[in-house]
Amino acid sequence: MTLLFVELLNRLDKKKKCLCDNPFICLKGFAIFLFGFVMEQLFTEVLKNTVGRLRPNFFDVCRPDFSRIDCSQGYITNYTCTNDEHAASILRNSHQSFPSGHAAFSMYTAMYLIFYVQKRLNISYSHILKPTMQAALLLVALLCCVTRITDFVHHTSDVTAGIILGVIVACAVFYSLGTKCLNVRECTKASNSEDKERNSTPTLTGCQTTLTLLQNEFTLQRQPDSFSSEYQNRNSNSANV
């Protein structure tokens, strides 16, 4: 929706309306967004299954049997969950805390849309609309990240790692693909070249002015000849007299 909204705002600007803009440019932006989303999810899932950090609510979800746990062994890897209220997928997800998937996805989405708005939104009727939209996107993403901590689903370090991951993927994807596929200055260059051609091409008024000047110059060149012939005739008449 944000991509369509940006393109609609561009179309509403009559001063900077560009007819050669591709109307399906938002589809390119969405395709690039999906590619970055797949990359972000791939990194997140690999890290989650590799690190295997316990969530803050792990003990409430699992309720392990402490009578069978020997704390003198150090880090406990063998335990038995006694809570039957949750499915096996929820129990498995309880030890996949690092990094935060919600934080990575929300920050990736916010940063990609911020870059898209900065690149594509080019309007003249409002100077504060662009920074307002960008600030709103960043605020929503940060609120999503904070709620993962306040809901005791992730540790602060998990959310921080998710934010960093989302920002890195968004920057890498947008500046490697978005800057090439979402070029907003193509129409500006085309309009400037058209203006140069129009200025270099002589108009009808210029041609008429040139013809007028040539006719006046031709008339002035012919006048001395008529004056000299008339002067010679007068001299010949006076000599005859």
Question: Which residues, at least 6 apart from 29, have a Cβ–Cβ distance to it below 8 Å?
Answer: 3, 116, 120, 178, 181, 182
**Number of CB atoms found within 10 A of residue 149's CB:** 17
Question: Which residues, at least 6 apart from 8, have a Cβ–Cβ distance to it below 8 Å?
Answer: none
Note if 127 is an active site residue.
no
Q: For residue 21, give the nearest of 189, 193, 133, 177 by alpha carbon.
A: 189
- Amino acid identity, position 86: H
21's tokens:
């803009």
Instruction: Confirm if 143 and 160 have CB atoms less than 8 A apart.
Output: no
Note if 154 is an active site residue.
yes
Burial class from Cβ neighbours inside 10 Å (0-12, 13-18, 19+) for residue 127 reads exposed
Query: Could you tell me what percentage of the chain is helix, strand and coil, using 3-state DSSP and rounding each to the nearest 5?
Result: 75, 0, 25
Q: For residue 97, give the nearest of 154, 49, 145, 43 by alpha carbon.
A: 154
**Of 86, 95, 102, 155, which one is the catalytic site residue?**
102
**Of 86, 95, 127, 154, which one is the catalytic site residue?**
154
CA–centroid distance for 197 within its chain: 31
- What residues act catalytically? 102, 154
